[in-house]
Amino acid sequence: MVKICCIGAGYVGGPTMAVIALKCPSIEVVVVDISASRIAAWNSDQLPIYEPGLDDVVKQCRGKNLFFSTNVEVHVAEADIIFVSVNTPTKTRGLGAGKAADLTYWESAARMIADVSRSDKIVVEKSTVPVKTAEAIEKILTHNSKGVNYQILSNPEFLAEGTAIQDLFTPDRVLIGGRETPEGSRAVQTLKDVYAHWVPEDRILTTNLWSAELSKLAANAFLAQRISSVNAISALCEATGANVSEVAFAVGKDSRIGPKFLNASVGFGGSCFQKDILNLVYICECNGLPEVANYWRQVIKINDYQKSRFVNRVVSSMFNTVSGKKIAVLGFAFKKDTGDTRETPAIDVCKGLLGDKASISIYDPQVTEEQIRRDLAMNKFDWDHPAHLQPTSPAAVKQVSVTWDAYAAAKGAHGVCILTEWDEFRELDYQRIYDNMQKPAFVFDGRNVVDAEKLRAIGFIVYSIGKPL
Ligand code: NAD
Ligand code: UGA
């Protein structure tokens, strides 16, 4: 029986390994983590992450061929294939701070692998890492090897949160990069055999190590670039009377462009787009390519512009001040169908409104009050350093309240900001909301989810992204 161990039981490690276990009953999969609370949650009925379909997959294989453990060293020592899926946040201090990837967690995982291994291992980079990380990992492993042979593979993950299980069941592609040596090819084949249990062979791409590492950063940069492109156009739509939905539809009809990922929004969030583009920018700078670095940096600048443009719109529409006014924030997660708040645009928008002394009342169906308060108290880039690895600073934000209902959030409010596209926000009783708000009652739709005309008929003043007023 092939044994797999995955280091890191997070948004990637957990779902990815659960699906491998489900699709490969002959493989034993153990997911390990240094966070005892996270592992306890994976072993309970309340999984640590909300992801549609995940509960079902975990229930089917947990205790059979899928295990979650804090016994990191034992399971690493026993495994044939070790996936490393630890977090790779942006560095907060030192060389490359604010841009470069912080590989501390990765390096400590690699050193631990070298310490405890007594048999040959295939070590798989699942985390998103800078190009050439495999070379660094190889050095750590081989210089500390006790006669053990290591093969390093790059197998970046392309799942998106909220659709992780579907993405893992039917991936557009699985990418495996390895050394172009006989041993490297054998390792690639071993990993390919795992995925071949359910992924059609023509969707399993094999490349050299550096192409695989770079493809992951490039894919995220291309995806984020589409959003910044449509968001940039949304500003021009607002200035000219064009409608960004109509423009995006017309543009996306060109089969060379395609319709996906062209939804204008308050800005993209999530743990990876910004982090990975900053990482790409840093790699370009280190390789003497400032023009290329500046090109990609612009994708982030437009995203920041879009978020501050939204805050400015709220404040300027409400007679240039929100001081002392209650504003309801509907949605705090960075997208629907997840409870993840890492780099959510809601943090910047709420901080912007708080900066103008608004009092805000937040509702999100999946995000806890504790998480919201921690996010609003955190400094930039702290979000991807897990809470158990950093000093806690959940200083109470006094002007913030958190409710478990959209109606309670909007009661007595001057304005409503929709910041996540949860389906339930399309179905709300907006007449009831209007009746309980201060007048004039404003709706600022940062996700273009409401029917603006219907709301205007009720009496709301509605601002949508990239649409005529
Ligand atoms: P995460 O923070 O949810 O999980 C990482 C886990 O690793 C944490 O639970 C942490 O406790 C654990 N960890 C850290 N150091 C450890 C060590 N030395 N030993 C054992 N456990 C350790 O992160 P994530 O969202 O799962 O992302 C992991 C990687 O995958 C990142 O590089 C990210 O860029 C990449 N990625 C993420 C997504 C996504 O949707 N979240 C998608 C594709 C790729
Ligand atoms: C993204 C990529 O889609 C995944 O392929 C990748 O594996 C992952 O990053 C990663 O490396 O972490 P994720 O961040 O989970 O996945 O979610 P997305 O669906 O990409 O959404 C990211 C952000 O962009 C969200 O805030 C979303 O609301 C926003 N978005 C997305 C838009 O504003 N407009 C769109 O048209 C699409």
Dump pLDDT digits (tens) for 182-234. Answer: 999 999 999 999 999 999 999 999 999 999 999 999 999 999 999 999 999 99
Here the ipTM equals 0.98
Residue 204 lies in a domain: no
Which residues have CB under 8 Å from 78's CB, separation 6+?
3, 5
Which residue among 17, 19, 33, 335 is best mutated to probe the pocket of ligand 1, counting the most ligand atoms within 8 A of its Cβ? 33
What is 356-401 written as a DSSP string? TT-EEEEE-SS--HHHHHHHHHSPTTGGGS-GGGS-------TTEE
Q: pLDDT at residue 125 above 80?
A: yes
Question: Which residues sit with their C-beta closer than 6 Å to ligand 1?
Answer: 7-13, 33-35, 38, 72, 85-88, 105, 108-109, 127-128, 157, 159, 161, 271-272, 386
Contact 360, 350 (CB under 8 A): yes
Residue identified by tokens 């609370």 is: 37
Which residues have CB under 8 Å from 202's CB, separation 6+?
none
- Choosing from 272, 284, 350, 417, the catalytic residue is 272
Q: Are residues 179 and 246 in the same domain?
A: no
Residue 41 lies in a domain: yes
Q: pLDDT at residue 27 above 80?
A: yes
* Confidence class for position 388, pLDDT limits 50, 70, 90: very low
| Token couple for 105 | 């967690």
Residue 122: CATH number of its domain: 3.40.50.720
Contact 32, 71 (CB under 8 A): yes
Q: What is the Cα Rg of the chain in Å?
A: 23
Q: Which domain holds residue 133?
A: 3-199
Q: pTM of this prediction?
A: 0.95
Q: Are residues 86 and 140 in the same domain?
A: yes
**Residue nearest atom 5 in ligand 2 by C-alpha distance:** 158
**Residue nearest atom 6 in ligand 1 by C-alpha distance:** 8
Q: How far apart are CA 24 and CA 262, in angstroms?
A: 36
| Token couple for 128 | 């998103």
Q: Are residues 173 and 276 in the same domain?
A: no
Atom of ligand 2 nearest to the CA of 219: 5
Domain tally for the chain?
A: 2
Q: Are residues 331 and 424 in the same domain?
A: yes
Residue 342 is assigned to a ligand binding site? yes
